[in-house]
A and B are shown apart, each in its own frame.
Chain A
Amino acid sequence: MEQPGRVVDERRAGRWMSALIMFILVAGVLSFVWSSKDYWLLPLASTQGLTLDNLFYAILILTAIPFVLVHLFIGLSLWRFPARGTERAAHWHEHLGAELTWTIVPTIAFIVLGIYGEIVWAHIYSAPPANALQVQVVGRQFEWEFRYPGPDGKFGRTAPKFVTSGDPFGMDPSDPENQQNIVTVNEMHVVLNRPVSVRITAIDVIHSFSLPNFRMKQDAVPGRDVSIWFTPNKAGTYQIVCAQLCGVGHYTMRGNITVESQSAFDQWLGSQGH
């Protein structure tokens, strides 16, 4: 209990607490540096991803500065201003200049960052180029189904009434185009440096079509078609992840996406059953 008039010396406690805050600061910064070797943004494989990563690094710098400064300030305050003896604290509690500064400076920083973010956002959700490869995706418990158009680049008609367990797209059997369409399960192939436009939906619950290497993620919502597009620019096979809890088997819901040349793609597509 604090007794009025009792001589209090909190200097030791102040140093301990200051050291603890400084430890958080140092460990917080160093562990981030350490993690950037093995645990960092996944290898990048799309052109859109680059703009997004640049934005990420801008935010990283912008947030690292206040993280360091605030912790330094707190650490220094605790070191410098512990109670000792009967000394009184300062008595001031307003300063218009200071308050305006730390209102206006963050506001400007946030606005600049916001404008930057809006530009990247608009870029990502712009209309896909005309030459984009068209793919349709349906999420279902617990797999991804992909539908590619036939050689003429057209999809057949679909309707909800044709949906069956074997055909989550609901392809109209009377439309000959549908004979040309190709459906695959958990296997998606795209063409290197050719934009791909993906139309995403789900047939049972909400899933999320996530391509972390391409910095793409879009919830697959039943009753709703949403399109995204991106340009894969690095050949290889990457993971397709379901990022939205979709039931007990959620953790098993994954697929592969392969980026390859147009000829390899054509060959793969030709080898798939109709």
Chain B
Amino acid sequence: MDAVAVHEAGAAHETHAKETFFRHYIFSTDHKMIGKQYFLTTMFMALVGGGMAMLMRDHLAWPNNGVLTPEQYLQAVTMHGTIMIFFFLTVMLTGGFGNLLIPLMIGARDMAFPVLNMISYWTFVPGVITILASFFVPGGPAGNGWTAYAPLSAIPAAEGGAGLGQTLWLVALLFVVISSLFGSLNFLTTILNMRTRGLSMGRLPLTIWGIFITAVLALLSFPVLMAGLGLLLLDRVAGTSFFEPTNLLVGGQISTHAGGDALLWQHLFWFFGHPEVYILILTPMGIVSEIISTFSRKPIFGYKAMILSLSAIGFLSFLVWGHHMFVSGMHPLLGAAFMGSTIIIAVPSAIKTFNWCATLWGGRIHFTTAMLFAIGFVSVFVTGGLSGIFLAIAPVDIYLHDTYFVIAHFHFVMASASLFAILAGTYFWFPKFFGRLMNETLGKIHFALTFLGIYGTFYPMHFIGLHSNDRRLYDNAAYPFLAHTGPIDVFVSLSAFLLGAAQLIFLFNFFYSLKYGPVADTNPWRANSLDWQTPTPPPHGNWGDELPTVYRWPYDYSVPGAKDDYIPQTVQAAPVAAGAGGEA
């Protein structure tokens, strides 16, 4: 195989002398340690972003309590979105799950570029520090929304404050973008070149397919965001005018900017921004496929269709960014075209949903916590996907654009679905990553509260959205038609608090199990993919003296005539004879 040379280079890892504390825990080049660093860092950021959401909901339900000033409210809105998307979901899925899973699932000893991998994490950390530092600068953090539309974000005089905050926001995102580019490059190279013997692309677990397409999207879309961020930074600090047209009248003064275009930022941002939402959902789709198949004890239905639809979504995701801009002032003909492409991208998502359903049918389902979250994923993904159809049809979007209906939509389809897959994946792979099992009872309580909390929080937002309650409004009092939305806001906030509290159960379970959970064996879920064929937790270099050889796809569950209801990818013999010598 052409990958042999790489394997031998990889084998050199094993000859490492005992590592110092710094080499092992801080500046590690081991994909598992880097993955855990990402995992814990982004978990912490999720708490910060979640805290912002709790503050927002507290204010929205009881606006007269003075929890937040108008400026602070917008800052909480902005930082919630920014942190959750850039510092939690994106990086947890790529930096966390990508790093931890790729070498284990493809039978490699490490990533293709271990040092670049370390640099990637240590480029992310300054981003984290910068965004957290922005809370403490004069004027506070950025408050112009996570989309930071120019010219509002470009001209300090146009804002109530947030001078340095918005600049730091741009710098922090630049760090994240660069870090993600390093990571994506590494992921692609690793998946393409370092698969072990017998593991063709057509035998890859769908999780790896999800990560693979995600890395392609990131590699192609993040540079566009990077360009946008760079230009906006120049507008703010160097006096350029990429996004400001001539003769703006800001704060009573005619601005010195001239010749820019305010819509350019939106095009750059959403050209990245739409692939980004698929960056947040393709890996989860893979994770969920893995878990549903494993715990239904049944092969994933339509494996090829799953890969094709992942790829189709990846390709189409670059052609739909304008559906964020139906009312932005771009030409209506463009709106008509983007409506068409957006409708087409719904088809592969529908196919995937039906395939998950078909996988459940006729299975012998084991209701582990991981499985519950995977089933929950399908539910929230369907709910959010369907509300997306309203927004894809441009005339209806005219009415619903920038209302809570949009908030409901993307929190279901992108945020909740992604979160559910992350939680499912955490319960599923925790034993492999950390060597112990999480507590299932606490896990199930966590699931039930999270599932109900998500629906309670976001489902009623459809209603106030239909009632034209706009997003990012500090106070509804100015609008007579919103006078009676108070009870819904209170219900939503209480659900959000429940949702937030449920995550504390998860945190407790996570850290308690880390130390006191029952020790896991090699393959606690009796799963087929390679990650379950290494010792638990995997040693440095992942595999013993010899890399595994793959003989089959990863979904041979309940093969008629086989001894067990699963046949690991490393088992060579024909299914019927699997019992003879196939057990790893």
Q: Is residue A268 contacting chain B, with contact meaning CB distance below 8 A?
A: no
Question: What count of chain B residues pass the 8 Å CB interface test?
Answer: 121
Q: Are B340 and A118 in contact (CB under 8 A)?
A: yes
Sample of 16 A–B contacts (CB below 8 Å): A1-B518, A13-B367, A24-B455, A74-B357, A78-B375, A90-B362, A160-B247, A204-B158, A205-B149, A206-B151, A224-B329, A243-B403, A245-B149, A247-B152, A247-B158, A249-B160
Q: Are A56 and B481 in contact (CB under 8 A)?
A: no
A27 surroundings in chain B (CB, below 8 A): 455, 459
Nearest CB in chain B: distance from A97 CB, A: 12
Listed residue (B144, B327, B401) with the most chain A CB atoms within 10 angstroms of its CB: B327
A248 surroundings in chain B (CB, below 8 A): 70-71, 74, 143, 159-161
The complex places the Cα of A40 from the Cα of B484 at a distance, in Å, of 12
Q: Of B448, B462, B525, which contacts A2 at CB under 8 A? A: B525
Q: Of A1, A82, A243, which contacts B524 at CB under 8 A? A: A1
* Known pairs A66-B386, A81-B296, A83-B364 / 20 extra A-B pairs, C-beta < 8 Å: A28-B455, A39-B463, A39-B488, A41-B466, A42-B467, A55-B393, A66-B350, A77-B357, A78-B367, A81-B362, A89-B298, A90-B298, A90-B362, A92-B362, A124-B398, A160-B246, A206-B151, A208-B401, A221-B329, A223-B261
Digitize B308-340: 1 where CB-to-A-CB distance is under 8 Å, 0 elsewhere.
000000000000000000011100100110011
Query: Which parts of A203-228 form the interface with B (CB within 8 Å)?
Result: 203-206, 208, 210, 212, 215-219, 221-224, 226
The complex places the Cα of A192 from the Cα of B118 at a distance, in Å, of 67
Top 8 closest pairs, chain A to chain B, by CB: A223-B245, A248-B160, A90-B362, A13-B367, A93-B299, A212-B468, A125-B332, A35-B463
Q: Can you name the residue of chain B whose Cβ is closest to the Cβ of A205? A: B152
The complex places the Cα of A239 from the Cα of B364 at a distance, in Å, of 56
B363 surroundings in chain A (CB, below 8 A): 77, 81, 89-90
The complex places the Cα of A118 from the Cα of B341 at a distance, in Å, of 12
Q: Are A206 and B520 in contact (CB under 8 A)?
A: no
A206 surroundings in chain B (CB, below 8 A): 149, 151-152, 262
Digitize B130-161: 1 where CB-to-A-CB distance is under 8 Å, 0 elsewhere.
00000000000001110001011001001111
Q: Can you name the residue of chain A whose Cβ is closest to the Cβ of B339? A: A117
Q: Is residue B44 contacting chain A, with contact meaning CB distance below 8 A?
A: no
Q: Are B297 and A216 in contact (CB under 8 A)?
A: no
Q: Are A83 and B297 in contact (CB under 8 A)?
A: yes
Nearest CB in chain B: distance from A115 CB, A: 9
B559 surroundings in chain A (CB, below 8 A): 91
Nearest CB in chain B: distance from A9 CB, A: 11
Nearest CB in chain A: distance from B190 CB, A: 28
Q: Is residue B115 contacting chain A, with contact meaning CB distance below 8 A?
A: no
Q: Are A59 and B396 in contact (CB under 8 A)?
A: yes
Query: Which parts of B342-361 form the interface with A (CB within 8 Å)?
Result: 343-344, 346-347, 350-351, 353-355, 357-361
Q: Is residue B106 contacting chain A, with contact meaning CB distance below 8 A?
A: no
Digitize B391-413: 1 where CB-to-A-CB distance is under 8 Å, 0 elsewhere.
00111101101110000000000
Nearest CB in chain A: distance from B516 CB, A: 15
Chain A residues packing against B (C-beta within 8 Å)? 1-2, 4, 8, 10, 13-14, 16-17, 20-21, 24, 27-28, 31-32, 35, 38-42, 51-52, 55-56, 59-60, 62-63, 66-67, 70-71, 73-74, 77-78, 81-84, 87-95, 98-99, 102-103, 106-107, 110-111, 113-114, 116-118, 120-122, 124-125, 140-141, 160-161, 163-165, 168, 170, 203-206, 208, 210, 212, 215-219, 221-224, 226, 239, 241, 243-252, 254
The complex places the Cα of A141 from the Cα of B251 at a distance, in Å, of 8
B296 surroundings in chain A (CB, below 8 A): 81, 89
Nearest CB in chain A: distance from B558 CB, A: 4
The complex places the Cα of A92 from the Cα of B83 at a distance, in Å, of 42
Q: Are A39 and B329 in contact (CB under 8 A)?
A: no
Q: Are B346 and A163 in contact (CB under 8 A)?
A: no
A125 surroundings in chain B (CB, below 8 A): 332, 335
Nearest CB in chain B: distance from A173 CB, A: 16
Q: Are A74 and B158 in contact (CB under 8 A)?
A: no
B515 surroundings in chain A (CB, below 8 A): none
The complex places the Cα of A249 from the Cα of B464 at a distance, in Å, of 22
The complex places the Cα of A108 from the Cα of B299 at a distance, in Å, of 29
Q: Are B328 and A89 in contact (CB under 8 A)?
A: no
Q: Is residue B365 contacting chain A, with contact meaning CB distance below 8 A?
A: yes
Q: Are B558 and A90 in contact (CB under 8 A)?
A: yes
Q: Of B247, B304, B379, B383, which contacts A163 at CB under 8 A? A: B247
Listed residue (B248, B249, B382, B525) with the most chain A CB atoms within 10 angstroms of its CB: B249
Q: Are A121 and B302 in contact (CB under 8 A)?
A: no
Q: Can you name the residue of chain A whose Cβ is closest to the Cβ of B477? A: A251
> Quick one: given A70-B382, A91-B298, A125-B332, are A102 and B351 in contact (CB under 8 Å)?
yes
B303 surroundings in chain A (CB, below 8 A): 93-94
Q: Are A17 and B367 in contact (CB under 8 A)?
A: yes
The complex places the Cα of A24 from the Cα of B560 at a distance, in Å, of 36
Q: Are A82 and B472 in contact (CB under 8 A)?
A: no
> Quick one: given A89-B297, A93-B555, are A99 and B351 in contact (CB under 8 Å)?
yes
Q: Is residue B250 contacting chain A, with contact meaning CB distance below 8 A?
A: yes
Q: Are A241 and B470 in contact (CB under 8 A)?
A: yes
Q: Are B364 and A217 in contact (CB under 8 A)?
A: no
B501 surroundings in chain A (CB, below 8 A): none
Q: Is residue B366 contacting chain A, with contact meaning CB distance below 8 A?
A: yes
Q: Of A39, A91, A106, A116, which contacts B464 at CB under 8 A? A: A39
